[in-house]
Chain A
Amino acid sequence: MQNYLTEIFGNELVAEITVYVLNTIPVLAFIVLFVLFAVWLERKVSAHMQDRLGPMRVGWHGVLQTVADFLKLVQKEDIVADANDKALFNIAPFLVFVATLATYTMLPFTSIFVGSNADVGIFLVLALSGAVVAGILMAGWASNNKYSLYGSLRAAAQIVSYEIPTALVVLTMIMVYGTMNLGDVTEAQTSYFWNWGIFGGAGLGLGKFLLVPFMFVAFIILFISTLAESNRTPFDLPESESELVAGFNTEYSGIKFSMFFLAEFANMFLIGSILVIFFFGGYNSPFGYFGNLIGVDWLIPIEQLFWFIGKGMFFVFISMWLRWTLPRVRVDQLMTICWKYLIPYAFFNLLIVGLILLI
């Protein structure tokens, strides 16, 4: 595609930039559509779990509620207070959002569409989600508000702590699959569901069955630690409404606030898709493709997209479910869960999986 564009533009740099932009636009569109849907779903799930109805007015059962909310947010005045550090204050929301968007380009949505088929895929995802911390710290510091600063410091402490169990489990996964490329990880789990990571991967023999319990432990650890990294309840200390107003985004309004909002909800799907890629076969269908059955090739990527988004949405739903089940943990409990429980378990898991793989 790049060669084709070079012919059109007659300039390699322009062609390259165009390719990047064209690769990002579908991802961006997906994020926006997903967030519009996920916010509505979150409100509906929370409402029904509390025996309420949730939004009912805008569209059928309020499906357009988020669109209306977004329109309202865009109309709002973009407030920058005098005491704010203007440069950092203005950059922060976009840094957070762009970092999240960049992680999305690593995800293999189908076998034919990957924003960036980087060989260090998962490593980049971890690095970029670490870069979000910088954005959050910038937001909290530049706001010149004590609650914002508390929120951003908590966010930094939390994300940095939970990077460790995440990284350990990801290391385990890299050992199992032998690659960091997320597309290749998905390819390794093709055909039926017993080849999925949670069922011990594609290999055959004793090793596969020995791996199953440890893959399950790895899945639980990765789920908890990524949940904490995305600042979702029960680990939403950085933006705990009852303690810190809204944490690092207290001082933001209008489009900048919606950038933080987009990034937060985009992170929810990112968690889901990372879990799906490592443990649930990524875009692979559990029962083979309908397109193969009737011999229509172009149907397969659509089915793959359906399975990827469907599985991802399942984990998004689980995290919403958890949000409305569990109360927020205390700061010391947060650190206890991470350092005293997740990290030792992740270490032992890493060792045992390594031993099994050696056999």
Chain B
Amino acid sequence: MIKDYLKNTWEGLYTVLVGMKITWKHLFVPSVTLQYPEERAKLPERARNRLFVNINDCIGCMQCATACPVNCIDIETVKGAPVDMPGETSKGKKKALWVTKFEIDIAKCCFCQLCVFPCPTECIQMTDVYEYSEWDRDNLIYNYANLTPQEVDIKQLNLEKFQAEKEAKKIEAAKAKAEAAAKKAEEDKAKSEEKPSDDEKKEEK
């Protein structure tokens, strides 16, 4: 028993020294701390952080908005009128739609990158920016569309005008057709009075 007692005493002191040796060694191990704002951890090559949209290349196809699992992308488009077409993407693809609204609520974004793959023009991308905290949550709704509200109104008007013109043309064309048909009918009638058998044959066809 006295042997155990002495052994306990010895082990108590000895194990403390063992522990102290370990902590002493760690005193000189270089620290793993990064002094954050000055030093930053290197991001992996394909790190997924804040989204960026190159609006000049966007054709307004809405595939990203459809792919988004949390519905954080909100797109509205207006069809381009022939007098005022949106132009081309950087790869020469013709755009047909004006993108009047392209909002990403980055606070909702879950960084899944599912919106990036369907994009036909590769205009929506993940960047390496990860510091974009804001005081107000509304500031996290990023608007990428580059049209002013006036411009949007103009596009809208252009389209309406174009559509109205088209409609007018259609009606005119229809009228013209109707008139032509009526004229023809009259002529036919006149003819049929001369040759009734002909008219009957046409109707059969």
* A contacts, CB < 8 Å to B: 45, 47-53, 56, 220, 321-322, 324-326, 337, 341, 345
Contacts and interface: CB of A to CB of B under 8 A. Distances in A.
A49 B20 CA distance: 10
A312 to B, nearest CB: 19
Given A51-B30, A321-B24, A341-B8, 17 more contacts: A48-B27, A49-B23, A49-B27, A51-B32, A53-B33, A53-B35, A56-B35, A322-B16, A322-B20, A324-B23, A325-B16, A325-B19, A325-B20, A325-B22, A325-B23, A341-B9, A345-B9
A48 B13 contact: no
Contacts of A326: 16, 19
A231 B23 CA distance: 21
Contact of A49 (B9, B12, B26): B26
Contacts of B8: 341
B25 to A, nearest CB: 9
B26 to A, nearest CB: 5
The B interface is mostly helix, strand or loop, or mixed, namely: helix
B197 interface: no
A52 B16 contact: no
Given A321-B24, A325-B22, A326-B19, A53 B13 contact: no
Contacts of B23: 49, 321, 324-325
Contact of B20 (A53, A56, A321): A321
A48 B20 contact: no
A150 B55 CA distance: 65
B43 interface: no
A345 B12 CA distance: 14
A206 B17 CA distance: 31
B51 to A, nearest CB: 33
Nearest to A56: B35
Given A56-B35, A220-B13, A341-B12, A51 B26 contact: yes
A47 B31 contact: yes
B29 interface: yes
A337 B8 CA distance: 10
Contacts, number: 41
A321 B25 CA distance: 11
Nearest to B21: A325
A49 B32 CA distance: 12
25 contacts: A48-B27, A49-B23, A49-B26, A50-B26, A51-B26, A51-B29, A51-B32, A52-B33, A53-B31, A53-B33, A56-B35, A321-B20, A321-B23, A322-B16, A322-B20, A325-B19, A325-B20, A325-B22, A325-B23, A326-B16, A326-B19, A337-B12, A341-B8, A341-B9, A345-B9
**Most central of B9, B23, B29, B32 by chain A CB within 10 Å:** B23
Contacts of A220: 13
Contacts of B26: 48-51
Contacts of A341: 8-9, 12
B35 A45 contact: no
Given A324-B23, A325-B22, A51 B16 contact: no
Q: B8, B16, B27 — which one has the most chain A CB atoms within 10 A of its CB?
A: B27
Contacts of B33: 52-53
Interface in B13-69: 13, 16, 19-20, 22-24, 26-33, 35
B20 A45 contact: no
A52 B32 contact: yes
B1 to A, nearest CB: 12
Contacts of B9: 341, 345
Specify which of A45, A47, A50 lies most central, judged by the most chain B CB atoms within 10 Å of its CB: A50
Contacts of B28: 48
Contacts of A48: 26-28, 31
A353 B82 CA distance: 110
B183 to A, nearest CB: 93
Contact of B31 (A52, A321, A337): A52
Contacts of B24: 321
Contacts of A49: 23, 26-27
A341 B8 CA distance: 9
